[in-house]
């Protein structure tokens, strides 16, 4: 019977099991080792790191995640749709199409204008050069159509208008009507301070935030922001339609008498701005508002919170300024008697839910030292997971998801018009992207300290 070879002086002993093939040895042992070591061994043997969740195939020919599409050919967009890998997540576009058709159907008859609008929208969405910007913001345009068309919903199909619910909640939660307290002391200077965020900045902030994120944040941030903003607004309008409530100005003007559909809205405190400026800027618009009883939730508050959270994610050094802006909007809505405090809390909670869900699943992570989007060589998607490594004395290592721009994809939330690939959560982050004839390969490495030390397979096996 042959003896196993003994240890050689000066050479570290390694585990040797001649009765097991090498492939079987790796399969038997690696399945019991920590995830970081499995990935390290697979890379050394030419294998791909194993993802913890579903991963997408890396597309061939990817070279730069900051490239923008420049084709104005409609057929290029059609070919992209043909090559797209469709998933159940794409059912969102079926819902959006149905919501658009519903909004057009209830609006006054104008078949020629509606047909031209639909054809023009499809043309803009299909052309790659324009679609890469308008597809992610499609939810915002549909929300605007949905909001302004909601006035044409027949009153017979609308629910009861709640007059006492919000004032009662205000007193129960805060012990007083905060809106009436803040608006009790009025002054032209305070009117101007409230008008700036409520009547001016509120409408310009989404575009300003989108431009700032597009230039200075990681590639793919702006599409995620636009989609979160649009879906949040659609949900807000739906809640306002299903749960109509009177705002503070109604209580100030009509008391707690029952409200009826068809009653005009009110500019409330904004009427003082019209008196200051000497012309009708808000009175007519708010009197004929599509949803005069859409107090809960406050989309003014929700928009401010969502913008503050996204901008704080991209520019954490200005987090205090963004928080102060959100607080400024909240004060203005109550000072102008347009919302109760409970409306603001409801809108803020909805915005926070959309942001943290988007950050965990779709939002590109900020990289230190990168000022412009064109400086990014790779993108990590989602919130960094903390993995406990018992081989590192309890230290934590972060592993993110990867993303890259391509012409077609099945992901509706990630880069551009849903054009990206991602590896599953828990995969290793890349160091530098390289292209080859076989496709795009990302060389992975840990971005954490301390760096993993080299370790022999025999050491790990024997330590068990």
Q: Are 359 and 221 in contact (CB under 8 A)?
A: no
Give the pLDDT of residue 9. 59
Residue 455 has pLDDT above 50, yes or no: no
DSSP-derived secondary structure for 320-372 = HHHHHHHHHHHHHHHHTTS--HHHHHHHHHHHHHHHHHHHHHTPBPP-TT--S
Residue 129 has pLDDT above 50, yes or no: yes
What number of residues does the chain have?
Answer: 464
Mean pLDDT of all residues in 268-284: 90
For residue range 342-369, list pLDDT tens digits in order.
999 999 999 999 999 999 999 998 888 8
Name which of 341-355, 377-391, 392-406 the model is least confident about. 392-406
Mean pLDDT of all residues in 183-205: 92
Q: Are 313 and 360 in contact (CB under 8 A)?
A: no
Task: Report the C-alpha gap between 400 and 387 in whole angstroms.
Answer: 11
Q: Sign of dihedral through CA atoms 263, 264, 265, 270?
A: negative
Give the pLDDT of residue 303. 96
Residue 205 has pLDDT above 80, yes or no: yes
Give the pLDDT of residue 356. 95
Give the pLDDT of residue 343. 95
Task: Report the C-alpha gap between 39 and 98 in whole angstroms.
Answer: 45
Q: How far is CA 71 from the centre of its chain?
A: 27
Considering the chain, what percentage of its residues have pLDDT values greater than 70? 68
Name which of 89-103, 309-323, 349-363, 367-381 the model is least confident about. 367-381
From 360, 357, 353, 370, select the one nearest 314 (Cα to Cα): 370
Give the pLDDT of residue 417. 36
CA distances from residue 95 to 22, 89, 280, 286, 435 in whole angstroms, order as listed: 53, 11, 38, 30, 38
Mean pLDDT of all residues in 176-190: 88
Give me the phi and psi of 364, to 5 degrees please. -65, 145
Residue 340 has pLDDT above 90, yes or no: yes
From 322, 302, 325, select the one nearest 312 (Cα to Cα): 322
Residue 2 has pLDDT above 70, yes or no: no
Mean pLDDT of all residues in 139-147: 94
Residue 274 has pLDDT above 80, yes or no: yes
Q: Are 183 and 334 in contact (CB under 8 A)?
A: yes
Q: Which two tokens stand for residue 412?
A: 């509706």
Quote the mean pLDDT of the chain: 76
Task: Report the C-alpha gap between 424 and 402 in whole angstroms.
Answer: 8
pLDDT tier, 83 (very low <50, low <70, confident <90, very high otherwise): confident
pLDDT tier, 235 (very low <50, low <70, confident <90, very high otherwise): very high
Q: Are 326 and 305 in contact (CB under 8 A)?
A: yes
- CA 323-326-330 angle, 5° bins: 140
Residue 277 has pLDDT above 70, yes or no: yes
338 or 12, which is more confident: 338
Give the pLDDT of residue 142. 94
Give me the phi and psi of 157, to 5 degrees please. -100, 0
- Give the list of residues 6+ apart from residue 317 with CB closer than 8 angstroms, or none: none
Largest CA distance in the chain: 108
Give the pLDDT of residue 22. 45
128 or 48, which is more confident: 128
Q: Are 284 and 330 in contact (CB under 8 A)?
A: no
> Which position has the token pair 């129960």?
172
From 459, 448, 441, select the one nearest 400 (Cα to Cα): 448
Residue 86 has pLDDT above 80, yes or no: yes
Name which of 58-67, 72-81, 144-153, 324-333 the model is least confident about. 58-67
- Which DSSP category does 88 fall into? G
Q: Are 260 and 178 in contact (CB under 8 A)?
A: no
Give the pLDDT of residue 463. 37
Residue 419 has pLDDT above 80, yes or no: no
- Which DSSP category does 90 fall into? G
Task: Report the C-alpha gap between 320 and 323 in whole angstroms.
Answer: 5
Residue 64 has pLDDT above 90, yes or no: no
Give the pLDDT of residue 230. 95
19 or 302, which is more confident: 302
**Half-sphere exposure (Cβ direction) of 455: Cα atoms closer than 13 Å:** 19
Give the pLDDT of residue 109. 86
Considering the chain, what percentage of its residues have pLDDT values greater than 90? 44
Q: Which two tokens stand for residue 436?
A: 């080859």
């Amino acid at each position: 019977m042959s003896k196993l070879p003994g240890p050689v002086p000066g050479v570290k002993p390694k585990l040797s099991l001649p009765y097991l093939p090498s492939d079987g040895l790796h399969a038997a042992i690696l399945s019991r080792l920590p995830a970081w070591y499995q990935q390290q061994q697979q890379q050394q043997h030419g294998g791909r790191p194993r993802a913890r969740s579903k991963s997408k195939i890396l597309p061939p020919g990817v070279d730069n995640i900051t490239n923008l599409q420049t084709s104005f050919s409609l057929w290029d967009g059609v070919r992209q749709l043909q090559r797209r890998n469709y998933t159940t997540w794409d059912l969102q576009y079926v819902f959006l199409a149905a919501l658009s058709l519903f909004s057009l159907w209830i609006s006054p008859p104008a078949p020629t204008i509606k047909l031209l609008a639909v054809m023009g929208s499809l043309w803009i969405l299909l052309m790659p050069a324009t679609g890469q910007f308008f597809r992610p913001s499609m939810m915002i345009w549909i929300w605007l159509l949905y909001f302004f068309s909601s006035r044409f919903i027949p009153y017979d199909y609308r629910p009861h208008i709640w007059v006492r619910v919000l004032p009662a909640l205000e007193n129960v939660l805060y012990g007083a009507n905060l809106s009436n307290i803040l608006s009790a002391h009025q002054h032209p200077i305070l009117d101007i301070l409230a008008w700036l965020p409520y009547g001016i900045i509120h409408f310009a902030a989404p575009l300003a935030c989108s431009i700032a994120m597009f230039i200075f944040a990681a590639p793919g941030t702006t599409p995620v922001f636009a989609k979160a903003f649009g879906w949040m607004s659609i949900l807000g309008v739906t809640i306002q339609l299903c749960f109509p409530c009177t705002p503070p100005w109604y209580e100030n003007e009509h008391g707690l008498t029952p409200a009826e559909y068809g009653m005009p809205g009110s500019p409330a405190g904004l009427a003082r701005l019209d008196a200051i400026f000497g012309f009708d800027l808000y009175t007519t618009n708010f009197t004929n508002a599509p949803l005069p009883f859409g107090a809960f939730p406050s989309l003014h508050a929700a928009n401010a919170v969502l913008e503050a959270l996204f901008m704080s994610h991209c520019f954490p050094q200005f987090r205090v300024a963004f928080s102060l802006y959100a607080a400024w909007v909240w004060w203005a809505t109550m000072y102008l008697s347009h919302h109760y405090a409970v409306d603001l809390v409801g809108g803020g909670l909805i915005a926070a839910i959309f942001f943290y869900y988007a950050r965990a699943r779709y939002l590109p992570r900020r990289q230190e030292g990168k000022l412009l989007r064109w400086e990014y060589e790779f993108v990590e998607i989602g919130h960094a997971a903390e993995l406990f490594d018992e081989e590192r004395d309890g230290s934590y290592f972060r592993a993110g998801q990867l993303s890259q721009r391509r012409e077609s994809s099945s992901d509706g939330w990630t880069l551009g018009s849903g054009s990206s690939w991602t590896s599953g959560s828990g995969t290793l982050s890349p160091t530098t992207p390289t292209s080859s004839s076989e496709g795009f390969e990302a060389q992975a490495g840990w971005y954490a300290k301390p760096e993993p030390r080299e370790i022999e397979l025999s050491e790990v096996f024997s330590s068990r």
